[in-house]
Amino acid sequence: MSRIILTVRDLEIALDPSGVEVDRDVNLELVEGEVLGLVGETASGKTTAATSLLNFQRRGAKIVGGSIRIDDRDVLALGGSQLRELRGGVISYVPQDPGSALNPALRIGPQLREVLEFHGFGNSEAERRTRIEEMMAEVLLPSTEEFLRRYPHQLSGGQQQRVVLAMAFACRPKIIVLDEPTTGLDVTTQAHVLDTIRDLVTAHRVAAVYVTHDLAVVAELTDRIAVMYAGRLVEIGPAAELFAGASHPYTRRLLQAVPVLTGRRTLEGIPGFAPRPGHRPAGCAFAPRCSYAVAKCSAEMPPEEIVGQMHRVRCWRHKEVETQAPLLAHDDDRPLESCGQEGLITVRVTAWYGSREVLHDIDITLRARECLALVGESGSGKTTLARCIAGLHRFRIEGDIAFQGKGLPRLARDRPRAIRHAIQYVFQNPYSALNPRKTIAQILSQPLRIFFDYTRDQREDRLAEVLDLVSLDDTVLSRYPDQLSGGERQRVAIARALAAEPTVLICDEVTSWLDVSVQASIIQLLVRLQTEIGLCMLFVTHNLALIRSIAYDVAVMSEGRIVEYGPTDDVLADPQVDYTRKLLADTPKIEVAQLKT
């Protein structure tokens, strides 16, 4: 039995000065060399809990109770120089965005050396130099003089994250806290970073806490998983046990939201959203969203109960929950059927970005009432292609884009009104797609005003209609975008596109900024819209696991070319080119084998 190196007891974090509770009764222990996944939706308090392991809180929050011990050190009692020694020496932290974690004005060599010098690692310049070479080799980066002299902006996102990892592992810490280190990266880079983390952790017996909202990411990496909801740990246990039959309804719902690569199943989002600090209901905070909830749930907070070896759960009805069937089975094996429609939009283009050719001889067809998925890593040209079709590409295009046989002008502005409203675009980032200074009503009326001559009453009816289509109620109309959650914002963005009554909807990585549980409900929504309204859809994504439930055809893009193009089921079952095979291998997945008890 390995030694326990980290114990967290009754940790309590509150907002300062309002005293609103953020995290409460968090109990954790970490065994040497173990990887613990800390999973939860946005606003669940997982990052707050994770940074408190380093006795750090962001502005406005404060640790108000409990204890954290690393070996025999009381972390919360440390201050000043002792704390600085602890951070980076004994326990280190890898933040979400490597771009902001590295000092943009310093070359990476000096940044790495700084960590070693500060913690007095190595006795001489030569020794530190060797250590840097070692570190860089461990994260699979070159340690040549040329590379170390680069600035952070000269590295790719994946390389930056690996430099941050090298810094975190530099002084051979005992524990490392990873805060969604792969969220901003595409699947291929994410796979590399995850491999690197796995190698480092096993090679040096470092214990790790991996914070994420995506269970699939941690499935292959972690030994145990802790699930957080509204500031409390609702379930903690061995990963295999959780995947086979979680005891908490919330864990089950999270699992149900994970898309599976190997077979099709209905993705189900969790209705509602995780309550923010200060807005949390009494009793079990999950009760309002839980299908198992009984009166007792909203009255009293359930205690932590032990249900297995190192497996604890906080639910009044966990015994009933456990008897339910495992959730990850493929429940939907019907193949998607082609509507057999002819082409609506045909695209035969070569496009430039400035003077560089970025799309080469693209030839795809969007069929009426069908969804085509466009898959590839970042930089493969998929967004450029989507924007060419939407008329948002500002540079040179050769070839033609035809809508119902008629060629389209390059820019949306030059296209006739009928075409502009027929082709609608939903942007990747819901946080920048809505004007922060406009109310939702103003945002949604814009297309109505441009395309239709509605009276005031008609317009209001139409607003209510499109909101209904995306499952929002009309209380959002008077709000501003920053008063909505990410998922709600993306729904508003989709509603704006639907308000124009489009025949073609282009969705550009519309779920990449969202939690997995929210992603599932957006996908659910798009599938429903596609079948109900009969939309023709172009679904751009880097996640192959997503497309099974939505797209009939898939086009795989690499370096500006379509490398594989065919029915989704065929492509996923039997990819013809190496690139698709590699993408498939890199996509994080929960193996169905893992699920059999």
CA distances from 357 to 248, 298, 393, 558 (A): 52, 59, 13, 14
Q: Please, which residue, 82 or 478, has the CB nearer to another protein? A: 478
- Least CB distance to another protein at residue 135 (A): 27
The pair of three-digit structure tokens given for residue 442, joined into one six-digit string = 């103003």
- Least CB distance to another protein at residue 220 (A): 22
CA distances from 111 to 395, 414, 569 (A): 39, 50, 47
Rounded CA gap, 329 and 354, in Å?
48
Q: Please, which residue, 169 or 513, has the CB nearer to another protein? A: 513
- Least CB distance to another protein at residue 268 (A): 21
- Least CB distance to another protein at residue 400 (A): 19
Q: Please, which residue, 327 or 444, has the CB nearer to another protein? A: 444
- Least CB distance to another protein at residue 438 (A): 7
Q: Please, which residue, 97 or 332, has the CB nearer to another protein? A: 97
Contact 524, 267 (CB under 8 A): yes
Which residues fall within 8 angstroms of residue 475, CB to CB, at 6 or more apart? Answer: none
- Least CB distance to another protein at residue 147 (A): 27
Ordered strands of the 536-541 beta sheet = 423-426, 504-508, 536-541, 371-375, 553-558, 561-567
Q: Please, which residue, 47 or 143, has the CB nearer to another protein? A: 47
- SS3 letters for 509-546? CCCCCCCHHHHHHHHHHHHHHHHHHCCEEEEEECCHHH
Q: Please, which residue, 189 or 445, has the CB nearer to another protein? A: 445
The answer for 207, left when phi > 0, alpha when psi is -120 to 50, beta otherwise, is: beta
- Least CB distance to another protein at residue 87 (A): 20
Helices (H), 257-409: 295-299, 318-322, 382-390
Rounded CA gap, 236 and 558, in Å?
40
CA distances from 296 to 283, 300, 459 (A): 8, 6, 45
Q: Please, which residue, 15 or 533, has the CB nearer to another protein? A: 15
| Contacts of range 297-302, beta carbons closer than 8 Å, 24 or more positions apart | 301/232
- Least CB distance to another protein at residue 291 (A): 25
- Least CB distance to another protein at residue 229 (A): 13
Q: Please, which residue, 47 or 521, has the CB nearer to another protein? A: 47
- Contact positions toward another protein, by CB under 8 A? 15, 22, 42-48, 58, 60-61, 96-97, 180, 183, 276-279, 390-392, 412-413, 415, 417, 420-421, 424-425, 427-429, 431-438, 446-447, 450-451, 475, 478-480, 482-483, 486, 493, 496, 500, 513-515
- Least CB distance to another protein at residue 434 (A): 6
Ordered strands of the 4-15 beta sheet = 21-31, 4-15, 61-70, 73-74
HSE at residue 402, side-chain half, CA atoms within 13 A, is: 12
Q: Please, which residue, 173 or 447, has the CB nearer to another protein? A: 447
Rounded CA gap, 479 and 523, in Å?
24
DSSP β-ladder status, 397-403 and 406-407: antiparallel
In sequence order, what are the beta bridge partners of 14? 21, 62
Rounded CA gap, 361 and 378, in Å?
19
Q: Please, which residue, 237 or 447, has the CB nearer to another protein? A: 447
> Which helix (H) or strand (E) segment is 400 a member of?
strand 397-403
Other CB atoms within a 10 A radius of the CB of residue 58 amount to 8
Q: Please, which residue, 139 or 514, has the CB nearer to another protein? A: 514
- Least CB distance to another protein at residue 401 (A): 14
Q: Please, which residue, 20 or 78, has the CB nearer to another protein? A: 20
Rounded CA gap, 265 and 282, in Å?
34
Rounded CA gap, 196 and 267, in Å?
30
Rounded CA gap, 506 and 484, in Å?
23
